[in-house]
Amino acid sequence: MHGYGQFCPVAVACEIFAERWTPLILRELLAGSRRFSEIRRGMPHISRALLVQRLRYLEDAGVIESRALARGREYLLSRAGEEFHGVIEGLGAWGQRWSHGRATTQNLDVKLLIWNVRRRLAVDRLPERRVVVRFDFRGVPAGRGPATCWLVTSREEVDVCLTDPGFEVDLVVSADLAGFTKVWLGDVSFAQALRLRTVRLEGPRDLVRAFPGWLLLSHFAGVARPRAARAS
């Protein structure tokens, strides 16, 4: 039997929301992803076939809507889907406040991290020219992304490159993947990471000084946490 077989509103809502990957699809749509490729970049471990299946199910359930584009489709939350905003916010805040394994080896992922950096970059603080930032990560678990990736940034657009884009590099970020992830989550400040040498910056002095201010960090980085739960 599919579902819980209960008329309880909690049960019928969970039949839609609590499917594996579905909350993360909703998270991506709420974060501004619209194209299939964008949604998948925020969920690098879901198979293409399963994502197609989940999107179809959510559309059939009236949670999302889609429309054909010249190439591919665009996905948008429906009015019903928008109501999940508070649920996603609550889940994220709870996970930030109470979870103890966010930056463990099994949860580290270069592709997810750099995609989050890309969409949480303060473009209005960037120089009025193209800046190419190369990230050299160490401590990358097998299958969790390339050790080196690039951000090609400007005030108009920020691109993630997993292969060398061919531009001259302006700034190099050398970091332990777990250490940079903790900075991103707000568990460790950028200044602390520099002192601990889990993160190092190489490049012109003005870019080195400015770079930490470009990072808006995780949407949930500012969630207050009990003292015992910090630096988890």
Q: What is the pLDDT of residue 31?
A: 95
Q: What is the pLDDT of residue 228?
A: 59
**pLDDT by position in tens, the chain (length 232):** 568 889 898 999 999 999 999 999 999 999 999 999 999 999 999 999 999 999 999 999 999 999 999 988 999 999 999 999 999 999 999 999 999 888 999 999 999 999 999 999 999 999 999 999 999 999 999 999 999 999 999 999 999 999 999 999 999 999 999 999 999 999 999 999 999 999 999 999 999 999 999 999 999 999 998 875 454 4
Q: Which CATH architecture has domain 105-214?
A: 2-Layer Sandwich (3.30)
pTM to 2 decimal places: 0.90
Check whether domain 9-83 has CATH 3.20.20.70, yes or no? no
Say yes or no: do domains 9-83 and 105-214 share a fold: no
How far apart (Å, rounded) are the C-alpha atoms in residues 214 and 125? Answer: 6
Residue 15 class from Cβ within 10 Å (0-12 exposed, 13-18 middle, 19+ buried)? middle
Q: What is the pLDDT of residue 173?
A: 98
Domain boundaries, the chain: 9-83, 105-214
How far apart (Å, rounded) are the C-alpha atoms in residues 6 and 82? Answer: 24
Pick from 33, 47, 113: which is nearest to 81 by CA?
Answer: 33
Angle between helices 110-119 and 177-185 (to 10 degrees): 40
How far apart (Å, rounded) are the C-alpha atoms in residues 220 and 107? Answer: 17
**Which residue carries 């568990």 as its tokens?**
187
Q: Which residues of 58-97 are buried (b: 16+ CB within 10 A; e: fewer)?
A: bbeeebbebeeeeeeeebebeeebeebeeebeeebbeebe
